[in-house]
Chains A and B, each alone.
Chain A
Amino acid sequence: MNYYLLLLGIVFLNIKLKKEGGFYLWIGFYLFLISAVVNIAKSVDLSEVIIRIGFVFLLIGFASAVREYKTDK
């Protein structure tokens, strides 16, 4: 899976959606939960793919949250 394309895709999508950092953080969190359930159900490889996608969302969401914090400050 090309995570750079995923990253670019999310960034371009956000230009249209204009969502807060929290939106992506929550997506990342839910993907983490899904990955946990899949991992416990012993589908380790699938779980790893999901958590990696979730991590990308967490990184994007966190970066946005930092930007918002700096702007609010």
Chain B
Amino acid sequence: MWRILTLVLLVPLILVGIWFKDGYLLGASEDGLIFYNVSSYYHQAQYAWMEYPGLGSPSVALIAGKPTYFFLSFLQGLGIPGFLVQAGVFYFLLISAGIGVYLLVHDLFPKLSKNYVLLSILFYWFNPIALYTILSRSLLNYFFFYSAIPIASYFYIKGLRTRKFSWIFGLNLSLLLYSYIFSYVAFTLLLWFWLLLITVYFVLFYSHKFFALKYFFLSIMLFLICNSWWIFPMIALNISGGAKDSSQSFLQQTNFDTLTAISKSIGNLNGIFKLVNTSFVSPDSLNWAKLYYSPVLSIIQYFFIGAVLFFIIKKRKEAEVLFIGSLFLTVIFLAKGNNSPFGEIYQILFKKIQILQIFRNPFEKFSFLLSLTTSILIGPSIYSLIDKLEDNLRRLSYLLVLVCLCGYLGYPLYSGLALTNTFPPTNDYSIGYKVKVPDYYKELDEWLNSKGDNFRYIGFPLAPEGITYKWEKGYTGLELPVSLFDSRAILLNTTTSFFKQIISQMEMTLLSDKDFSLLANLINAKYYLLRYDIDYKARGMTDPSIIEKSLLEKEKKGEVKKLTTFGKVSIWENLRWEDSQFYPANKFIKVNNFDKDTTFTSIDVLKKEVLIDLDDSSKLGRLVEVKETILPGIIYEKINTTKYILHLKNAGDPFLLVFSELYNDGWKASYKDQELNNHMRVNLYANGWIVDKRGDFDILVEFAPQKWMDIGEKISIVSIFLIIGGLYFVFLKYKREGA
């Protein structure tokens, strides 16, 4: 056992040493550069509302990762460089994956020699799914899920087999350690679907139906209690209607088209049986990926699965083989999506149960489970194949399998090729996913933070969601407002509702003769960043020199002023900016269709103008345009991203209070615990309330789901202590029984 443990600790250390030996961060794709500045992510995940992508949005997806971000930002706060923190995380995830597989195989096949258990562990690390779905995709929550699923499965199965409820404590404590995975709803569903599947097959082969049902029910109950810090605000957001727009954009016919297209593309059984994502290993792939098409290497891939099928057939009278074999075949069936044979079953469920539309890429999601079930079976399969051979031949065969696993399957990992892709600069094998953020971004961020936090700033040229930077090692992936900056940056145009209508007009207006400060003031933008370190040609973005030309012309007109430069980024000030985070409005410009209107580019918030949708004009009631002098003065305190206290002075007639943050039904304004009604969307993206009070008074503006997050956090903390207490009690009981 010590030999296995040594290898489980050593092999990931070697891999991580190879990947991080040059001292660079690794980053690409949708994750950005989390490890460049983890505290910035912690800041976004602290509350139920975050500043990303610039106008604010609910952070329910991120808050599940709050404990992880807290711990990692604590490590960075101790002075540990980002790349070392990242290396440490990768190391932990690899060894815990290995330990999880070891525990599972050892529990299901206790008589299996450790040499063959090692094959299962190596296969789990080196199989093509781990290569593509985990490493090459470069998504941290994928890596966490890949690492969590063996350990979680072990605790769950152990509890079922021993019929001891105490294993539920271990399961939930382990899930807390990997809570980062729940920042992606699909993994929450996938995990519980998996545990339900285990329960069903367990009942089929081992009976104990009532115990199994109680066990599943209690597991999920404890899970909901322990994770209430992110579950409560998610429910609250959905009840308040704040998730309506994002969920509607998600649940559409396009999901079915996506399912069909993806099933056709990567849901073929040949690819699934070889554990290969055929879109990654295609004629357009990187040269090294095309190795997977070579005949010799195809034989090796088919050999492993052939061995597994052979083992299942030979040992089909054994409960453990039937149990894992059922899971294996079920996962293959699901991974092919709505492809034949019998793909209609998947299709019907997909259409009838809307939440299942999260699984519109079935191979990507179910491949985690395929990788696990195959790995569990590899060790005993190889043993079953070669055990009857005479000694020398058996040793030679074992060695050959080891060479195939480590030499062939493992090659892309320990050579670092797994951390490359087709997009420049990641297609340069010497660079891959290595990133070095220039030092001037730190200085720039510090400078912006020194100016306060009552404004936004816009980065030009504005990126579509993806960006390519021309840094020392380059970077290609999702734009990096959270990684690079602690404050409220608008650097990209995303598909977030209400956001895209405004931001898509930014550059066009800046390059026109129109007064850009009107549009900038609409979103409370005080500074503009002009970035010359972007590969604008690669991304089809505007040439920064064209934007600079426009800024210089506006500087002559007195609209902007160039302040300073940090490296390849210059800062320009909007000279007509005034803090319009909150402002009272008395001039109502009504438009017919908010989403088709473009007159907002000439709204002047400094003149207390506000854009109102015609459908909401009835909410204005007796509100009429009043003289500016009767409008109250507003001083506000920002308690955190979800709470503001407004101090209003000399309010006269009723007015419209504008809050320049992304509109969401979860935002509530109240006066002395009485909620202000007539919450409406104004200025295309912002929040507005009618205020009908006189004199001096305070208004509280808060994001309602935050209350539920606060309650949920308290419940989660108490439950963690109860779990630890419960485990200690079980430990004492075990010790007493042993004695």
Q: Is B718 an interface residue (CB 8 A)?
A: no
| Partner of A55 from B269, B295, B322 at Cβ < 8 Å | B269
Q: Which residues of B contact A48 (CB under 8 A)?
A: 268-270
Q: CA–CA, A21 to B302, complex, Å? A: 23
Chain A residues 22 to 71 lying within 8 A of chain B, measured CB to CB, are 22, 25-26, 28-29, 32-33, 35-36, 39-40, 44, 47-48, 51-52, 55-56, 58-59, 61-62, 65-66, 69-70
Q: Which residues of B contact A22 (CB under 8 A)?
A: 313, 316
Task: Please state if A25 and B316 are interface contacts (CB–CB under 8 Å).
Answer: yes
Known contacts A25-B316, A35-B270, A36-B306; is A62 also within 8 Å of B341 by CB?
no
Task: Please state if B270 and A58 are interface contacts (CB–CB under 8 Å).
Answer: no
| Partner of A52 from B205, B310, B329, B340 at Cβ < 8 Å | B340
| Partner of A51 from B269, B310, B317, B329 at Cβ < 8 Å | B269
Q: Which residues of A contact B273 (CB under 8 A)?
A: 32, 51
Say what secondary structure dominates the interface of chain B.
Answer: helix
Task: Please state if A65 and B322 are interface contacts (CB–CB under 8 Å).
Answer: yes
Total contacts A to B, CB within 8 angstroms? 75
Q: Which residues of A contact B268 (CB under 8 A)?
A: 48
Q: Is A1 an interface residue (CB 8 A)?
A: yes
Chain B residues 529 to 567 lying within 8 A of chain A, measured CB to CB, are none
Q: Which residues of A contact B319 (CB under 8 A)?
A: 69
A53 closest partner in B (C-beta) = B341
**Chain B window 190-206, contacts with chain A (Cβ cutoff 8 Å), 1 for yes, 0 for no:** 00000000000000110
Q: Is B326 an interface residue (CB 8 A)?
A: yes
Give min CB distance, A35 to chain B, whole Å: 7
Task: Please state if B309 and A32 are interface contacts (CB–CB under 8 Å).
Answer: yes
| Partner of B270 from A39, A62, A69, A72 at Cβ < 8 Å | A39
Could you say which interface size class chain B belongs to?
Answer: 20 to 34
| Partner of A3 from B270, B312, B342 at Cβ < 8 Å | B342
Q: Is B325 an interface residue (CB 8 A)?
A: yes
Task: Please state if A25 and B306 are interface contacts (CB–CB under 8 Å).
Answer: no
Known contacts A29-B309, A32-B309, A58-B329; is A4 also within 8 Å of B205 by CB?
no
Q: Is B400 an interface residue (CB 8 A)?
A: no
Q: Is B299 an interface residue (CB 8 A)?
A: yes
Task: Please state if B317 and A3 are interface contacts (CB–CB under 8 Å).
Answer: no
Task: Please state if B317 and A33 are interface contacts (CB–CB under 8 Å).
Answer: no
Known contacts A40-B298, A72-B317; is A66 also within 8 Å of B269 by CB?
no
B325 closest partner in A (C-beta) = A62
Q: CA–CA, A72 to B309, complex, Å? A: 22
B332 closest partner in A (C-beta) = A55
Chain B residues 323 to 353 lying within 8 A of chain A, measured CB to CB, are 325-326, 329, 332-333, 340-342
Q: Which residues of A contact B310 (CB under 8 A)?
A: 29
Known contacts A62-B329, A66-B326; is A25 also within 8 Å of B340 by CB?
no
B343 closest partner in A (C-beta) = A3
Q: CA–CA, A12 to B333, complex, Å? A: 23
Q: CA–CA, A61 to B309, complex, Å? A: 12
Give min CB distance, B143 to chain A, whole Å: 30
Q: Which residues of A contact B340 (CB under 8 A)?
A: 1, 3, 52
Q: Which residues of B contact A6 (CB under 8 A)?
A: 341
Give min CB distance, B378 to chain A, whole Å: 16
Task: Please state if B309 and A69 are interface contacts (CB–CB under 8 Å).
Answer: no
Q: CA–CA, A72 to B319, complex, Å? A: 12
Q: CA–CA, A40 to B295, complex, Å? A: 6
Task: Please state if A65 and B306 are interface contacts (CB–CB under 8 Å).
Answer: no
Chain B residues 298 to 315 lying within 8 A of chain A, measured CB to CB, are 298-299, 302, 305-306, 309-310, 312-313
| Partner of B316 from A35, A36, A65, A70 at Cβ < 8 Å | A65
Chain B residues 244 to 286 lying within 8 A of chain A, measured CB to CB, are 268-270, 273
Give min CB distance, A46 to chain B, whole Å: 11
Q: Which residues of B contact A4 (CB under 8 A)?
A: 342
A20 closest partner in B (C-beta) = B316
| Partner of A40 from B299, B326, B332 at Cβ < 8 Å | B299
Task: Please state if B269 and A21 are interface contacts (CB–CB under 8 Å).
Answer: no
Task: Please state if A25 and B313 are interface contacts (CB–CB under 8 Å).
Answer: yes
Give min CB distance, B377 to chain A, whole Å: 14
Give min CB distance, A7 to chain B, whole Å: 8
Give the B-binding residues of A (Cβ under 8 A): 1, 3-4, 6-7, 21-22, 25-26, 28-29, 32-33, 35-36, 39-40, 44, 47-48, 51-52, 55-56, 58-59, 61-62, 65-66, 69-70, 72
25 A-B Cβ contacts within 8 A? A1-B340, A7-B342, A21-B316, A25-B316, A29-B309, A32-B273, A32-B305, A36-B306, A40-B298, A40-B299, A44-B270, A47-B270, A51-B273, A52-B340, A55-B269, A55-B332, A58-B309, A59-B329, A59-B333, A61-B313, A62-B326, A66-B322, A66-B326, A69-B316, A69-B317
With contacts A32-B309, A52-B269, A70-B204 known, what are 5 further pairs, Cβ within 8 A? A40-B295, A40-B302, A48-B269, A55-B341, A62-B312
Nearest 6 A/B pairs, CB to CB: A3-B341, A36-B302, A65-B316, A25-B313, A51-B269, A40-B295
